[in-house]
């Protein structure tokens, strides 16, 4: 089963110790812009590291932006200059845009309607900005009017509870908000979500063109069924699950409007073969103690060139995944059905995600090596349905890179660079500190006092297979002994994807903030995998950063720039930051900072994409 677990979105169980964060102070008056009240207290917050400042900084990261920017506008450079070798292209950033309606309801950040941002770098080094909501079916239903629309949330969304509107009996759960990731491929720009079809957007105007029926291109007939499907074991237990799945599908589809196959929001690009790789799971996997994954490979024209299906005998949640020349690699997060939570979710008093719970019953991380082709399956000799149990239990979050190389045993060594956290730290009910009772986000849930191995961290998973496919070695270690701080969003030079790489870039916490020591991130770390050394660049004052994206300029692996958004929330400002990848850790790493107009300041984004012209 796969559902949306967005960037570093993990929290602790409520019985752990928390940083005490007070409720917001009373507001004497409000400024009102387009019908949205803005507390003056937050606007005038002092530049001090206090509990109150931490509370407002955190909540202002997810302040709704109702205004759009249809006609692109130039951005003013406030520091440095765009370097002359910066390529022409566009940085797209996906994420939520609105969290509160006009009738008393707030939604979890993961259920916020998709708001696509575009930074276009033109020849001559001018940068133009535009932003628009993705016009999904749910967005059209929940907003009325042009510009800053009137909003009424009617869909619960998987992670939210509606304070206004219909609660009990509301089956509008699957709210495709197209807010998680963005992809430009084959001349198309797609916005993806973790539970429905992508939406196509015009790459230049950001106008929504409509849903893109990507999986409809695939032939679901038996002629294209993979060899793996025919190798399934005729267990009585499996037969019973097949019957249960058959009964559940019409209910999930007809009542809850869930598609039979749900795309994961994370995709992969095989540059050597010129392919786009995507994976979908079956809707009923959410409720059954097994998972069913279907992998698709498309050419540059979105023609389906390869498809494989894998029923996995484990109840798993997958957000991100990896691939090598011969394998799809799934790092499983074990979950289970929560019966009491399911009943509460059906009443509408708890979010639907309450029906699931983490399953820490096994002290390991399952790694499934699924063969990309029948030839690879025959050559490996291993039973792909049996996972490699990586030592130490870890909840996988995001993958930066994966590759395989031949070894001296006649087999292959597989290596993954990724981020992960502990099961003890992860909590479905409190992701982002969302509190459906008080309509606020509590930063304490993301910044609780905990063991250093609980927090999201960057690790290397190493697997050694012999010529029979048997695992002879499996280890998990930190990518850098010099950097033990929380980190996520690992990124690399895309030219080194799927092959041995030296450098990893990631968002990270400096640990310098007393009341927000772990999240939001305020730094970018660069790790040299070859020797474990680490260097970093950090913001100053009450500023935070999102996901880093690498923009290559050719030559060596770190020849290029890292782009990211800096959120100066206390000043209601967003800046596009350009770092010299080679100079991270030095004095001149920051080469340019560009300012988004204050009236267009936007909430924190999730995942981005750089596309050269």
Q: How far apart are CA 565 and CA 574, in angstroms?
A: 7
* pLDDT tens, residue by residue, 220-237: 433 333 333 333 333 444
Q: How far apart are CA 270 and CA 293, in angstroms?
A: 19
Q: Is residue 230 part of a domain?
A: no
pLDDT band, very low/low/confident/very high, at 431 (cuts 50, 70, 90) = confident
Q: What is the pTM of this model?
A: 0.87
Dihedral (Cα; 372, 375, 381, 385), 10-degree rounding: 30
| pLDDT at residue number 166 | 61
Question: Rounded to whole angstroms, what are the CA distances from 467 to 43, 88, 409, 410, 441?
Answer: 63, 46, 6, 5, 51
Q: How far apart are CA 375 and CA 393, in angstroms?
A: 32
What is the percent of the chain with per-residue pLDDT over 90, rounded to a whole number? 62
CA 465 to chain centre: 30
Q: Is residue 242 part of a domain?
A: no
Q: How far apart are CA 9 and CA 552, in angstroms?
A: 28
Q: How far apart are CA 172 and CA 187, in angstroms?
A: 33
| pLDDT at residue number 564 | 98
Q: Is residue 418 part of a domain?
A: yes
Instruction: For residue 287, list its beta bridge partners.
Output: none
* pLDDT tens, residue by residue, 542-566: 999 999 999 999 889 999 999 999 9
Q: How far apart are CA 605 and CA 8, in angstroms?
A: 12
Is it the case that residue 416 has pLDDT exceeding 70?
Answer: yes
Show the domain range for 584.
30-87+257-608
| pLDDT at residue number 11 | 33
CB 460 within 8 A of CB 477: yes
CB 481 within 8 A of CB 533: no
DSSP state at residue 204: T
- Nearest CA-CA partner of 194 in 181, 184, 185: 181
Let me know how long the chain is: 613
Q: What is the mean pLDDT of the chain?
A: 84
pLDDT band, very low/low/confident/very high, at 165 (cuts 50, 70, 90) = low
- Nearest CA-CA partner of 489 in 568, 570, 544: 544
Average pLDDT over residues 335-344: 86
Q: Where residue 565 sits, what CATH number does that domain have?
A: 2.130.10
Would you say 319 is a known binding-site residue?
yes
Q: Is residue 318 part of a domain?
A: yes
Residue with tokens 């498809």: 307
Token pair for 206: 């950001």
Sorted by sequence, the CB contacts under 8 Å of residue 339 that are 6+ apart come out as none
DSSP state at residue 443: G
Q: Is residue 231 part of a domain?
A: no
SS3 347: helix
Would you say 108 is a known binding-site residue?
no
CA 326 to chain centre: 25
Q: Is residue 123 part of a domain?
A: no
Question: Higher model confidence: residue 251 or residue 511?
Answer: 511
DSSP state at residue 256: T
- Counting the structural domains of the chain, the total is 1
Would you say 14 is a known binding-site residue?
no
Q: CA-based angle 108:114:118, to the nearest 5?
A: 135
Contacts of residues 535-541 at CB distance under 8 Å and 24 or more positions apart, as own/partner, are: 535/584, 535/585, 535/586, 536/483, 536/508, 536/510, 536/584, 536/585, 537/579, 537/584, 537/585, 537/589, 537/590, 538/510, 538/512, 539/566, 541/47, 541/568, 541/570
pLDDT band, very low/low/confident/very high, at 451 (cuts 50, 70, 90) = low
CA 247 to chain centre: 31
| pLDDT at residue number 350 | 83
Other CB atoms within a 10 A radius of the CB of residue 527 amount to 28
pLDDT band, very low/low/confident/very high, at 209 (cuts 50, 70, 90) = very high
Other CB atoms within a 10 A radius of the CB of residue 160 amount to 25
Dihedral (Cα; 434, 435, 439, 440), 10-degree rounding: -60
Token pair for 458: 């960057």
Q: How far apart are CA 540 and CA 556, in angstroms?
A: 30
Is it the case that residue 449 has pLDDT exceeding 50?
Answer: yes
Q: Is residue 250 part of a domain?
A: no
Residue by residue, DSSP assigns 273-335 as: TTEEEEEEEEGGGGTSSSEEEEEEEE-TT--EEEEEEEEESS-EE-S--EE-SSEEEEE-EEE
* pLDDT tens, residue by residue, 248-263: 454 445 445 566 688 9
| pLDDT at residue number 146 | 62
Q: Is residue 238 part of a domain?
A: no
Q: How far apart are CA 241 and CA 224, in angstroms?
A: 23
Question: Higher model confidence: residue 190 or residue 512?
Answer: 190
| pLDDT at residue number 347 | 77
pLDDT band, very low/low/confident/very high, at 43 (cuts 50, 70, 90) = very low
SS3 109: helix
């Amino acid at each position: 089963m796969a559902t949306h677990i967005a960037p570093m979105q993990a929290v602790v169980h409520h019985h752990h110790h928390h940083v005490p964060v007070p409720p917001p102070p009373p507001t004497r008056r409000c400024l009102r812009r387009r019908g949205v009240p803005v507390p003056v207290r937050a606007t005038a917050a002092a530049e001090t590291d206090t509990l109150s400042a931490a509370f407002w900084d955190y909540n202002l990261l997810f302040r709704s932006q109702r205004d759009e920017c249809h006609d692109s506008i130039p951005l003013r450079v406030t520091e440095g200059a765009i370097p002359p070798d910066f390529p022409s292209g566009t940085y797209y950033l996906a994420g939520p845009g609105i969290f509160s309606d006009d009738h008393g309801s707030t939604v979890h950040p993961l259920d916020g309607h998709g708001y696509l941002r575009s930074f276009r770098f033109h020849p001559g080094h001018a940068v133009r900005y535009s932003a628009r909501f993705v016009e999904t079916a749910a967005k059209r239903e929940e907003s009325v009017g042009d510009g800053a629309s009137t909003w009424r949330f009617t869909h619960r969304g998987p992670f939210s509870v509606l304070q206004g509107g219909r609660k009990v009996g509301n089956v509008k759960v699957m709210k495709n908000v197209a807010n998680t990731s963005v992809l430009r491929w084959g001349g198309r720009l797609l916005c993806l979500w973790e539970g429905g079809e992508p939406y196509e957007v015009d790459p230049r105007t950001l106008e929504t063109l409509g849903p893109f029926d990507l999986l409809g291109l695939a032939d679901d007939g038996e002629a294209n069924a993979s060899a793996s499907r025919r190798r399934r074991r005729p267990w009585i237990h499996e037969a019973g699950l097949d019957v249960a799945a058959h009964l559940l599908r019409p209910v999930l589809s007809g009542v809850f409007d869930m598609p039979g196959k749900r795309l994961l929001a994370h995709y992969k690009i095989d540059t050597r073969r010129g392919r786009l790789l995507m994976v979908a799971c079956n809707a009923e996997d959410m409720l059954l103690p097994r998972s069913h994954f279907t992998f698709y490979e498309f050419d540059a024209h979105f023609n389906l060139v390869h498809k494989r299906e894998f029923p996995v005998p484990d109840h798993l949640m997958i957000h991100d995944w990896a691939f090598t020349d011969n394998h799809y690699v799934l790092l499983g997060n074990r979950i289970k059905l929560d019966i009491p939570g399911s009943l509460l979710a059906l009443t509408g008093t708890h979010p639907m995600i309450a029906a699931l719970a983490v399953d820490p019953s096994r002290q390991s991380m399952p790694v499934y090596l699924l063969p990309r082709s029948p030839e690879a399956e025959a050559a490996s000799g291993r039973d792909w349905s049996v996972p490699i149990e990586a030592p130490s239990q870890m909840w996988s979050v995001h993958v930066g890179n994966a590759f395989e190389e031949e070894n001296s045993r006649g087999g292959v060594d597989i290596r993954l660079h990724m981020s992960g956290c502990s099961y003890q730290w992860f909590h479905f009910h409190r992701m982002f500190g969302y509190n459906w009772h008080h309509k606020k986000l509590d930063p304490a849930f993301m910044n609780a006092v905990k063991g250093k191995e609980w927090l999201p961290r960057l690790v290397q998973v190493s697997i050694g297979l012999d010529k029979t496919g048997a695992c002879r070695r499996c280890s998990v270690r930190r990518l850098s002994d010099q950097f033990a701080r929380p980190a996520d969003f690992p990124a690399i030079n895309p030219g080194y994807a799927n092959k041995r790489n030296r450098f990893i870039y990631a968002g990270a916490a400096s640990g310098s903030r007393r009341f927000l020591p772990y999240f939001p991130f305020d730094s970018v770390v660069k790790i040299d995998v070859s020797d474990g050394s680490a260097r970093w660049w950090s913001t100053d004052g009450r500023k935070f950063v999102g996901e880093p994206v690498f923009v290559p300029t050719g030559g060596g692996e770190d020849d290029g720039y890292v782009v990211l958004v800096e959120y100066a929330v206390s000043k209601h400002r967003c800046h596009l930051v350009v770092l010299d990848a080679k100079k991270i850790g030095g004095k001149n790493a920051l080469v340019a900072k560009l300012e988004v107009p204050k009236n267009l300041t936007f909430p924190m984004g999730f995942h981005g994409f750089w596309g050269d012209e």
